[in-house]
Amino acid sequence: MHEVHEREILEKLREIGAERVLIQTPEGLKREAQELACFLEGEGIDVIISGDINYGACDPADREAKMLGCDALIHLGHSYMQLHLEVPAIFVPAFAKVDVIPALERNLGEIRKLGRRIGLVTTVQHIHQLERARDFLENHGFKVFIGEGDGRVSFRGQVLGCNFTAAYVDADGILFIGAGYFHPIGVALATKKPTLAVNPYSGDALWMEREVERTIRKRWGQIAKAYNAEKFGVIISTKKGQLRLAEARRIVRLLREHGRKAELIAMNHISYPSLEGFDFDAYVVVACPRVPIDDVENWRKPVLTPPEVELLLGLREEYKFDEIVGGKRSINEPLGVAFHGPGNGV
């Protein structure tokens, strides 16, 4: 279960005079979206719920909201990302109700193996408990560092699937609090430091070394499969928070300079079945780094990230995880509802 502060959202909508809103939600919060819609309609707000898949704050439905005649967008589940939006938007991070302290207490022995100086990171679902976690750890003798991160994140200590800048701290090792492997694997690859993931739901702890090795082996396999590829489709995303046109053009230029053919492809939802009609030998995804890694089993042809292209062409020797970085972080979102309208971003 996640906390959604309905009254705060209503107050923000009334501040801007919104009469019709679009609610956008990830898969895991669709019931909360229904409940929020019922509440707002009971307060006289006209509500439309987006049924499209949502992948994060990088994928706001502000264009759709404007098309539907909505005065505002309510984006559930993710914290604010600095983007220029076409309608006012309320970003509502969904905070998990699970207490993280029991899992930390259970795994103190493993956490001590990181060293005395540890960096502490998490996802937005647990960010509201990060200070409690730091106090708990410092009371047990650790020196805890929580990184600022860059302008792509809203909170100190927050990591995204595409951005690990909050983990760049002067520590012996990194402690990640949260479920899933992708984020802590990215932290380990980005920082090159021992990384331990503690799952507050199961209470388990997992070292990332083996997971990192397994991931890198799979990625080198994709690079090897693309070794003799002559024609590359370089995919850019039309999602506002994933659009990296300059980087995509750089990759096209590198491929062509090394005797390969390359063309740009623009997509909103990136999936291999939509590419079946093309005659490319391999693809490069210059969008969300999770697409070529999480979905690799669904691609019949090799799919690479920009740093992997550099490895393929002999321009890089060490494996590097792809990241989307932002500018200097200039905001610090309040816990609960964060309101940002058009022009409040870059």
As a whole number, mean pLDDT of residues 305-317 equals 97
Residues 268, 244 share a domain: yes
Cβ neighbours of residue 346 closer than 8 Å, sequence gap 6 or more: 82, 83, 84, 151, 327
Residue 77's pLDDT is: 87
Name the domain boundary from 141, 172, 207: 207
pLDDT band at residue 327 using 50, 70 and 90 as cut-offs: confident
338 strand-pairing partners: 91
The answer as to whether 335 is a domain residue is no
List the alpha helices (DSSP H) in the chain. 6-16, 30-42, 62-67, 101-106, 108-112, 130-139, 182-191, 209-225, 245-257, 290-294, 306-312
One domain for residues 179 and 221: no
Among candidate residues 94, 110, 132, the one where a domain is terminated: 94
DSSP at 163: B
Q: Which of 48, 88, 38 is nearest to 68 (CA)?
A: 48
pTM above 0.95, yes or no: no
The answer to whether residues 272 and 230 belong to one domain is yes
Radius of gyration of the chain (CA): 21
Q: Which residue type does 56 have? A: G
CATH number of residue 54's parent domain = 3.40.50.11840
Q: How many domains does the chain have?
A: 3
Domain with 237 in it:
215-312
CATH of the domain at 132: 3.40.50.11850
Is 125 in the same domain as 81? no
Question: Taking the CB of residue 284, how many other CB atoms lie within 10 A of it?
Answer: 28
**In this structure, are 90 and 134 located in the same domain?**
no
pLDDT of residue 207 exceeding 90, the answer is: yes
pLDDT of 345 over the 50 cut: no
Token pair for 97: 């109700």
Residue 89 belongs to some domain of the structure:
yes
Contact 274, 91 (CB under 8 A): no
State whether residue 339 is helix, strand or coil.
Answer: strand
Asked, for residue 279, whether it belongs to a domain, the answer is: yes
Classify residue 334: in a domain, yes or no.
no
**Is there a single domain that holds both residue 240 and residue 303?**
yes
Model pLDDT, residue 305 = 97
Provide the 3-class DSSP secondary structure of residue 174: strand
CA torsion through residues 312, 315, 317, 318, sign: negative
Residues 127 and 37 in one domain: no
Do 225 and 274 fall within a single domain?
A: yes
Rounded (5°) CA angle 148-160-272? 155
340 within some domain: no
User: Could you tell me if 6 and 39 are in contact, meaning their C-beta atoms sit under 8 angstroms apart?
Assistant: yes
My answer on whether 260 and 169 are in the same domain is: no
Q: Which residues contact 12 (CB under 8 A, 6 or more apart)?
A: 90, 337, 339
209 vs 2, more confident:
209
The verdict on 110 and 198 lying in the same domain is yes
- Whether 246 shows a pLDDT value over 90: the answer reads yes
54: pLDDT confidence band, cut at 50, 70 and 90? confident
In this structure, is residue 71 part of a structural domain?
yes
Tell whether the torsion through CA atoms of 286, 62, 166 and 246 is positive or negative. positive
SS3 111: helix
Q: d(Cα 184, Cα 289) in Å, to the nearest integer?
A: 14
CATH of the domain at 306: 3.40.50.11860
- With respect to residue 151, please indicate whether it lies within any of the assigned structural domains: yes
Question: What pLDDT score was predicted for residue 231?
Answer: 98
Residues 193, 275, single domain; the answer is: no
Tens-place pLDDT, residues 60-108: 999 999 999 999 999 998 888 888 899 999 998 888 889 999 999 999 9
Indicate whether 153 belongs to any domain. Answer: yes
107 and 184 housed in the same domain:
yes
